[in-house]
Chains A and B, each alone.
Chain A
Amino acid sequence: MSVDSIGRAYRVYRRRVARCRTENQVNRVHIVLGNYATPAEIRHFNTLLARDNADQSSRGWLAGFRGMMPHKAPRAEEFERKGFFPSMSLYSSNAGPRSDKTLLIGFAGNFHRLSMPAPVFLDCFDPALYDVIILRDFSRGYFVRGMPGLGGSFFEAMTRMRQLVDPRVYRNAIALGTSSGGLLAIFAALLLGLPRGVCVGGMDFPQFTEIVTRLGVAPGPYADLLASRPNPYPELLIVYSGHYAVDVKAAEGLHGRIPSRLLGVKHCEEHGVLGWKLAQGRLPPFLSKLLGQSLERSDAPAMTETR
């Protein structure tokens, strides 16, 4: 992303803030910024806000984002955002061919996030090695009503997404979902034939069935998908907070339905496992463990996850 385009984005952002008349409106602008911004934008916005002696609230928000970002320095290659639709953003860099990269397909949960602002999550990954898609469900319908622009159902949306960004051209492709997006990552791995699917703090299938039925969507195709045993079968990982009773029960239930591995996070008492790991300063190595591969090039500083 060029400095010019970041400068334009910054001016749009400042105009939006300038139009705000209440604290809630200011918060809303920054929540949306946190849902879409790249790490490079956050770094540049911080610099520009200081130069402009901007309002304290904006500076506080941006400093907060910056403070959470695990990789403290700018990268040689940075993620750029390609916003296909509000519900689907692709973050990628021009560095290297896709055949050398991993495509990570993220199903956002509550508040349209993967448990944290997008730039914070993205900052865990070397853009030379990863392209990241973030999918958001604005209908709050657990993705089963599809996503505007992508299709009217989860199945239509996945077909369209694959036409836009084909996981098969990548070295590896992994679906990862948090909270209400967790189970959908499992569905996506099965449907798209991905090597790996990671469900973090997701629900079990009976609760999903109950919800989608109430939404007027037939659960049958999802039951069929869950019962399918494609060959090769994806490596499915079910991650949960070890001390959050609802999630423990859901994870164990789902684990009983599909060939999968369970990973309970010790000492975590919160629903948001990834956010908890971030607060502990251990998110990148934990994500590396979930994905089964490094997040950085081998010449980058080593990361270890011990818990």
Chain B
Amino acid sequence: MSAPQELSRARRAVFDALKIGAPNVFLDDMRARFIAGEDFSIADLEMDSLGLMEFCISVELSTGVSLVPAQLAELATTDVVEARIREQLA
């Protein structure tokens, strides 16, 4: 499942990064709910340290926004991450 065009750039970046960082958990059902606007706890995505790094690398590559794993741990949910990216892009 790929992200639809109407997703904002920041939300699309989070979507694509979750596919890479949380490959065992962010599957079809969760992807559809994310696209529909649902917010997910970062903890529930079960990303290990490598997954968190890959998530941050993906965000940086797609948006240029430098978010590092230590910061991600402080951002509780995907919506908060998206808002942080949006702020940096503005």
Contact = CB atoms under 8 A, between A and B. Distances in A.
A19 B49 CA distance: 23
Given A24-B60, A24-B66, 16 more contacts: A22-B60, A24-B53, A24-B67, A25-B60, A27-B56, A28-B57, A31-B53, A31-B54, A110-B23, A110-B24, A110-B51, A111-B51, A179-B24, A180-B23, A214-B1, A246-B24
Interface residues of A, number: 16
B56 A24 contact: yes
Contacts of A180: 23
A4 interface: no
Sort A-B residue pairs by CB-CB distance and give the 3 closest, nearest first: A24-B60, A27-B53, A23-B68
B24 A24 contact: no
Interface in A19-41: 22-25, 27-28, 31
B50 interface: yes
Contact of B57 (A27, A246, A272): A27
Interface string A92-110: 0000000000000000001
A30 B19 CA distance: 21
Interface residues of B, number: 16
A31 B60 contact: no
9 contacts: A22-B60, A23-B68, A24-B53, A24-B56, A24-B57, A25-B60, A28-B57, A110-B23, A111-B51
A24 B68 contact: yes
A272 B49 CA distance: 13
A23 B54 CA distance: 12
Interface in B27-83: 48, 50-51, 53-54, 56-57, 60, 66-69
A111 B24 contact: no
Interface of A: 22-25, 27-28, 31, 110-111, 140, 179-180, 214, 246, 271-272
B50 A31 contact: yes
- Interface majority SS (helix, strand, loop, mixed), chain A: helix
Interface of B: 1, 19, 23-24, 48, 50-51, 53-54, 56-57, 60, 66-69
B50 A111 contact: yes
Contacts of B24: 110, 179, 246, 271
B1 to A, nearest CB: 8
Contacts of B56: 24, 27
Contacts of A140: 19, 23
Given A24-B66, A179-B24, A271-B24, A111 B54 contact: yes
Contacts of B66: 22-24
Contacts of B23: 110, 140, 180
Contacts of A22: 60, 66
A179 B53 CA distance: 19
Contacts of B54: 31, 111
Nearest to B54: A111
B58 to A, nearest CB: 9
A180 B23 CA distance: 10
A246 B53 CA distance: 24
B20 to A, nearest CB: 8
A270 to B, nearest CB: 9
Nearest to B66: A22
Nearest to A116: B50
A180 B20 CA distance: 13
Contacts of A179: 24
A155 to B, nearest CB: 24
